[in-house]
Amino acid sequence: MSARRPDPLAQVSDFDIRLLKLFRSVVECGGFSAAESALGIGRSAISQQMSDLEQRLGLRLCQRGRAGFALTEEGREVYQSTQQLLVALESFRTEVNGLHQHLRGELNIGLTDNLVTVQHMRITNALARLKERGPDVHIHIRMTPPSEVEQGVLDGRLHIGVVPQVSALSGLDYQPLYDERSLLYCAVGHPLFYVDDQQLEDSRLDSQEAIAPTFRLPPEVQSHYQALNCTASASDREGMAFLILTGRYIGYLPDHYAQAWVQQGRLRVLKPDSRFYDVSLASVTRKGRRPHLVLESFLEALAEA
């Protein structure tokens, strides 16, 4: 009778956890080279540690070489299990830390792009207060589309997110933060850049090539884009800014985000009295979440800010 193969992870050590965290970073960055800056170590060190993890597990986790980086089937399953393990470890650490009422651990926050120029600065100020209260807290920010922020909060990868409030998803709590106004812009080189608003007819405006967002927006906002001749699209506001600045498209941008280009004379607003819309931004957390001292402290700081 053949001997039973030993369990490769009968005992999970701190070394194993470090290797699994490295593996998660490599997957999320999309390869060894892209993970170098995120991890702060060289590609050869990443490769060696990935080999150590594969040897420890007895599995081939990824293909690497000239064809590029790709997970094997086993690698995809190990990645999903790694996500569950690291979320569980963070929950355990948070609950134990709560017994001592000392702020330690992580805050994983997901943000819609280009909120840093909002004059209210509520998020920035709340992060500053959190760090003042808990110097040992590690803050991790991910800039992703709103739908991915909400999904990340739902599955526990993110503790909190900030998104435009479109329609509430079951399982999530939304708390309004502030409203954001978007205006219609064109750039230097566009035929409308020097046309006076009083001489600019809606029919001419609506015939210009424009940009549509692929992220979710409220129905009353979608009507603003339906009136335009949208021949291009972008997944975020930065992508829309890139296209507007070509001087070939018109499009909507948050006024706080576009302000610097307006001051430089590179963008101008088109008919601001009629071509605008407002969207409410909200913080989003998971309903029925476990006690998390770092998150609760951040929410308190956000309310104070």
Q: What is the pLDDT along the chain (305 residues), one digit of tens a residue?
A: 445 555 665 566 788 888 999 999 999 898 888 888 888 888 889 989 999 999 988 889 988 777 778 899 999 999 999 999 988 888 877 776 665 566 788 999 999 877 777 777 788 999 999 999 889 899 999 988 888 899 999 999 999 999 888 888 889 999 998 889 999 999 999 999 999 988 899 999 999 999 999 888 888 899 999 999 999 999 888 999 999 999 999 999 999 999 999 999 999 999 999 999 999 889 999 998 888 889 999 999 988 87
Give φ, ψ of 303 to 5 degrees: -65, -40
Q: What is the pLDDT of residue 1?
A: 45
Residue 34: inside a domain:
yes
Task: Please say which residue of 81, 103, 138 terminates a domain.
Answer: 81
The length of the chain, given as a count of residues: 305
Question: What's the number of domains the chain is made of?
Answer: 2
Nearby residues of 27 by Cβ (< 8 Å), 6 or more positions away: 71, 75, 79
Give φ, ψ of 231 to 5 degrees: -115, 0
Residue 44: inside a domain:
yes
Residue 297: inside a domain:
no
Q: What is the pLDDT of residue 217?
A: 84
Kindly give the pairing relationship between strand 70-71 and strand 62-63: antiparallel
Q: Degrees (nearest 5) of the Cα angle 41, 12, 88? A: 85
CATH code of 257's domain? 3.40.190.290
Q: What is the pLDDT of residue 103?
A: 77
Residue 208: inside a domain:
yes
Which domain range does residue 196 map to?
A: 179-280
Residue 37: inside a domain:
yes
DSSP per residue, 219-260: HHHHHHHHTSEEEEEESSHHHHHHHHTTTS-BEEEEHHHHHH
Task: Please say which residue of 81, 102, 121 terminates a domain.
Answer: 81
Residue 200: inside a domain:
yes
Tokens of 190: 């566009």
Residue 168: inside a domain:
no
Task: Please say which residue of 81, 99, 122 terminates a domain.
Answer: 81
CATH code of 20's domain? 1.10.10.10
- 31 near 68, Cβ under 8 Å? yes
Residue 244: inside a domain:
yes
Give the largest CA-CA distance in the chain: 91
Q: What is the pLDDT of residue 122?
A: 85
